């Protein structure tokens, strides 16, 4: 009997949460495409290592006829710190990244971005680089 009462209480609470959420967000309403949504920064850089690193990130339009960079910046990242690029994704596109850590030879990465995607660059132990695409 006690278990049935507890189950009923849980079901009522879940029902209230579902109905409240639907009412709050307008169940079934589609959001208009014209709502402003800021373009995220093209990348976020994190130093996951326990020592500081100098990181150079150069970004190219992968489909351009020229090899001129769109953006190039060197960051000095203390252990556990991060930085965000000033370049935005705007309407997306394909970008080629050259990333070098502590003056080593750059590693090349090419990514296809949507309007709301961004790249997470993580500097790991001994300057290893890990990249991950994400959506805002």
Residue-wise pLDDT tens digits, 80-116: 999 999 888 777 889 999 999 999 999 999 999 988 8
Which among 60, 64, 65, 54 is positioned nearest to 111, based on CA atoms? Answer: 60
Q: Does 57 have pLDDT greater than 60?
A: yes
Number of alpha helices (DSSP H) and beta strands (DSSP E) in the chain: 1, 8
Q: Does residue 22 carry a pLDDT above 60?
A: no
Q: Kindly report the average pLDDT of the chain as a whole number.
A: 78
**What's the token pair of residue 25?**
């967000």
pLDDT digits (tens, 9 = 90+) for 31-48: 445 445 566 899 999 999
Question: What residue ranges do the domains of the chain occupy?
Answer: 43-135
What is the structure's pLDDT at 113? Answer: 92
Question: In the CATH scheme, what is the code of domain 43-135?
Answer: 2.60.40.180
| Residues with Cβ within 8 Å of residue 48, at least 6 apart in sequence | 80, 122, 123, 124
Of 40, 69, 46, 72, nearest to 129 (Cα)? 46
Residue 74: pLDDT over 80 = yes
Q: What angle do CA 96, 72, 99 make, to 5 degrees?
A: 55
pTM: 0.70
């Amino acid at each position: 009997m006690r278990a049935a009462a507890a189950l009923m209480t849980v079901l009522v609470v879940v029902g209230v949460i579902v109905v409240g959420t639907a009412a709050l967000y307008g169940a079934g309403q589609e959001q208009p495409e014209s709502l402003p949504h800021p373009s995220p920064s093209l990348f976020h850089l994190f130093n996951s290592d326990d020592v500081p690193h100098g990181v150079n990130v150069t970004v190219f339009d992968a489909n351009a006829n020229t090899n001129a960079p769109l953006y190039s910046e060197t960051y000095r990242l203390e252990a556990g710190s991060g930085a965000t690029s000033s370049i935005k994704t705007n309407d997306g596109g394909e970008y080629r990244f050259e990333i070098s850590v502590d003056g080593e030879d750059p590693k090349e990465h090419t990514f296809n971005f949507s309007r709301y995607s961004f790249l997470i660059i993580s500097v790991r132990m001994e300057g290893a680089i890990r990249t991950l695409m994400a959506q805002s």
